[in-house]
Amino acid sequence: MEPGEPREPRELGPGAETAAAPHWEEAKTFYDNLAPQKKPKSPKPQNAVTIAVSSRALFRMDEEQRIYTEQGVEEYVRYQLEHENEPFSPGPAFPFVKALEAVNRRLRELYPESEDLFDIVLVTNNHAQVGVRLINSINHYDLFIERFCMTGGNSPICYLKAYHTNLYLSADAEKVQEAIDEGIAAATIFSPSRDVAVSQSQLRVAFDGDAVLFSDESERIVKAHGLDRFFEHEKAHENKPLAQGPLKGFLEALGRLQKKFYSKGLRLECPIRTYLVTARSAASSGARALKTLRSWGLETDEALFLAGAPKGPLLEKIRPHIFFDDQMFHVAGAQEMGTVAAHVPYGVAQTSRRTSPTKQAPPAQ
């Protein structure tokens, strides 16, 4: 054969093609498994339900907080850099974030092109060089958090509206109050006193009513005139909807995502479940709460009217990923029973709780 002359094709024996096919398929599978798995795209902020979470809400940073308080910011930064390959332990918001991601997976299965998803933003006033440890921790736990806001010691609150934030969770009560004052749904999150297993497949969110979903109108009546006058007031105004509270918009966003499952015939298998857990009594003041939700086109899957009884034992049965209340008394009771509770600093119950500012560590926002 002359150089450059095309080679005659070699004839294959009977069955050779079919024998070679399995080997090719095996090789293709092998190399596909070696290829990096592509993560889904982050939704555009204006299309998503955006949850902003501070670093100290998502992770436990007690030792870092102690170093900052006792030794100052330079030693704090040095410690973070020296330990940047050590992942943080999960904090109080960690199970909530994992549940959000579980809902997203279901939504992507049903609506592959939709951006109507939860979008999680890590918000921290850490310096950028400390961010490497946060990134390493997020990758270690395989969390899908692509958006970061690291403000280098400045308050991150001014950025929350730019991120179209639907809910801000933080361990820093002052930052939360600042967000509430700016009209942003926010709560200070607390770790429970003991660990309780929560659902891995269904996001469960429990809300107090007054000064959380609703305004503090009724609480003002109680504080000024007592319970008897409150019952009279609620009966007289039963058909007048209460004004909205700071977390009404978040419940609305959850309801919008729930309806995407309902429209596929999955109401009973919906991976989002909401609860109203209120100290109101059903007979004397419950109707106004339910009629208010109805007037907004909203509902909760369950409504528990406790008539002043402790909320902790009921929450222990529900096992929500997070419970929102405006009164620290109820937050503490939930903590004792193993519930991740979040304080919403809104309304007349907060008047006596305003205190002078205290020094906070960079990750505590």
**For residues 112 and 32, what is the distance between their CA atoms, to the nearest angstrom?**
22
Measured in degrees and rounded to the nearest 5, phi and psi for residue 91 equal -100, -170
Instruction: Give residue for tokens 């620290």.
Output: 328
Residues 6+ apart with CB under 8 A from 204: 99, 198, 273, 274, 275, 318, 319, 320, 321
Q: What CA–CA distances, in Å, run from 175 to 107, 185, 186, 245, 260? A: 32, 12, 9, 19, 33
* Residue of 208, 210, 216, 325 marked catalytic: 208
Neighbours of 261 (CB within 10 A): 19
Contact indicator for 154, 125 with CB cutoff of 8 Å: yes
**What is the residue-wise DSSP string for 28-85?**
HHHHHHHSPPPPPPPPPTTTSEEEEEEHHHHEE-HHHHHHHHHH-HHHHHHHHHHTTT
Which SS3 state, helix, strand or coil, does residue 249 take? Answer: helix
Which residues sit opposite 167 in a β-bridge? 51
324: left (phi over 0), alpha (psi -120 to 50) or beta: beta
Specify the DSSP class assigned to residue 141: T
Concatenated DSSP letters for 70-131? HH-HHHHHHHHHHTTTSPPEE-TTHHHHHHHHHHHHHHHHH-TT---SEEEEEEE-S-GGGH
Catalytic residue check, 116: no
Residue 177, both tokens:
């109050």
- What residues act catalytically? 208
